[in-house]
């Protein structure tokens, strides 16, 4: 019976060690913590995130204590020799008083716990600095899902629309192929009254309305500037001989900006939830829309119509992204290219470039996408055509 107990203790200790040391298990713990934050936000009286973080620390403390306790039981019971050596060294290093022995044990335990905690947390939060506050720890844990997972999170972000690209470049109606008839661009507005500021019939223009859930931070001025620069530097030749695409962002004011509600993203169907005539008004079917919310599905980063007008993306910012633009600027660029390029060479993603996945080596427009945009202009589909004609 004693041998069986030893086997059970050994199995538990081994399982605990694997759980704490395996990177996949740690990433799973990060995602579980993040889901706990999300579930807490869904109930009528949400649990404060610092409380959830505190509970997580308590659980980690208990697991660490059980691990140490089990390890001691295991190593002192596997053999007289090892057990005796541990006992001898413990007697040498600690005073004779039971109270002081207990205090010494707690000091040793605390040191071991803190060292283990310091080694464990970065896997969850990606990076913590000495100036990190409790709110920043919570934010880091939310963003921990990005660490090492970025390529996979973009694999299923494209929402295919219709049966292919129907609209072809027509020099008599839309010289630059940006989906906006020359007469609209010359007038500076659509027949429905949507403003097309600084439009040029011989240079591609892309108009985008930005919307945000109440649970995310809006793109700041630096990120918006990065987006404009990224698109203006794209190697797409215009009819007037210039290169680049003019990106026009509406981020506040009438219908743009915050939606006044949380934006949960629970599946590809969410891409249709906010791109409505009610939310865009006279911009509907002319402007594209990027909505930043809180992703509920740990398998993707968001969704973008391919081709189409709408995108709905996770609003978290991955601070450790090492590119020339922010992670969110790279993500929005990726999504908008899904909208305007559609499929390229039969695929929704390219091997390298903005339509691959955000990475400092992919911050460029691939030749295939540039050729597609120059030859056929912005893509559209039967789905988009039917939606805008109804």
Angle at 327 between CA 231 and CA 344, to 5 degrees: 50
pTM: 0.69
pLDDT greater than 80 at residue 49: no
- With b for 16 or more beta-carbon neighbours within 10 A and e for fewer, the 291-323 pattern comes to bbbbbebbebbbbbbbbbbbbbbbbbbbeebee
Q: For residue 103, list its beta bridge partners.
A: none
pLDDT in tens, 356-386: 999 999 999 999 999 999 999 999 888 888 8
pLDDT score at 52: 61
Mean per-residue pLDDT, 56-60: 67
What contacts 141, CB < 8 A, 6 or more positions away?
30, 33, 34, 37, 53, 124, 125
- Answer yes or no: are the C-beta atoms of 86 and 75 closer than 8 Å: yes
The region of weakest confidence among 83-87, 189-193, 214-218, 322-326 is 83-87
pLDDT in tens, 287-304: 999 999 988 766 789 999
Q: Which fold has domain 150-389?
A: Collagenase (Catalytic Domain) (3.40.390)
pLDDT score at 232: 98
pLDDT score at 175: 94
- Answer yes or no: are the C-beta atoms of 148 and 24 closer than 8 Å: no
pLDDT score at 295: 83
The region of weakest confidence among 56-60, 73-77, 204-208 is 73-77
Higher pLDDT, 75 or 160: 160
- What is the domain partition of the chain in residue ranges? 2-146, 150-389
Share of the chain above pLDDT 90, in %: 46
Mean per-residue pLDDT, 180-208: 96
Strands 288-295 and 264-265: parallel
- Answer yes or no: are the C-beta atoms of 172 and 371 closer than 8 Å: no
80: confidence class by pLDDT, cuts 50, 70, 90 = very low
pLDDT score at 303: 95
pLDDT score at 277: 94
pLDDT in tens, 243-274: 999 999 999 988 999 999 999 988 888 898 99
pLDDT score at 169: 47
pLDDT score at 296: 79
pLDDT score at 318: 84
pLDDT score at 132: 47
């Amino acid at each position: 019976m004693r041998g069986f107990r030893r086997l059970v203790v050994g199995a538990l200790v081994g399982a605990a060690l694997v759980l704490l040391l395996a990177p996949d298990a740690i990433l799973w713990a990060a995602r579980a913590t993040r889901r706990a934050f999300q579930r807490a936000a869904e109930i009528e009286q949400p649990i404060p995130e610092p409380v959830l973080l505190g509970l997580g620390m308590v659980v980690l403390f208990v697991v660490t204590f059980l691990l140490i306790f089990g390890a001691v039981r295991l190593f002192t019971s596997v053999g007289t020799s090892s057990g005796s050596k541990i006992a001898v060294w413990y007697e040498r290093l600690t005073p004779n008083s039971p109270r002081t022995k207990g205090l010494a044990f707690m000091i040793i335990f605390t040191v071991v716990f803190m060292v283990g905690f310091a080694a464990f947390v970065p896997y969850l939060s990606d990076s913590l600095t000495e100036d990190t506050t409790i709110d920043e720890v919570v934010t880091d844990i939310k963003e921990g899902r990005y660490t090492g997972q970025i390529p996979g999170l973009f694999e299923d972000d494209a929402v295919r629309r219709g049966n292919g690209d129907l609209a072809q470049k027509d020099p008599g109606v839309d010289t630059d192929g940006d989906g906006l008839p020359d007469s609209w661009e010359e007038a500076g507005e659509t027949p429905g009254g949507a403003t097309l500021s600084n439009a040029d019939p011989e240079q591609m223009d892309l108009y985008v309305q930005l919307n945000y859930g109440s649970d995310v931070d809006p793109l700041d001025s630096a990120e918006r500037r990065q987006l404009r620069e990224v698109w203006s530097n794209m190697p797409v030749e215009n009819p007037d001989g210039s290169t680049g695409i003019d990106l026009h962002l509406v981020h506040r004011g009438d219908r743009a900006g915050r939606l006044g509600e949380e934006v949960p993203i629970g599946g590809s169907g969410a891409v249709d939830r906010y791109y409505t005539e009610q939310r865009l008004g006279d911009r509907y079917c002319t402007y594209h829309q990027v909505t930043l919310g809180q992703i509920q599905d740990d398998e993707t980063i968001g969704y973008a119509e391919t081709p189409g007008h709408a995108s709905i993306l996770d609003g978290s910012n991955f601070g450790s992204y090492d590119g020339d633009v922010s992670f969110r600027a790279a993500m929005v660029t990726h999504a908008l290219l899904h909208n305007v390029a559609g499929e390229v060479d039969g695929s929704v993603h390219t091997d390298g470039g903005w339509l691959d996945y955000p990475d400092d080596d992919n911050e460029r427009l691939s030749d295939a996408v540039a050729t597609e945009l120059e030859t056929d202009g912005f893509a559209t589909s039967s789905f988009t055509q039917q939606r805008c004609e109804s």
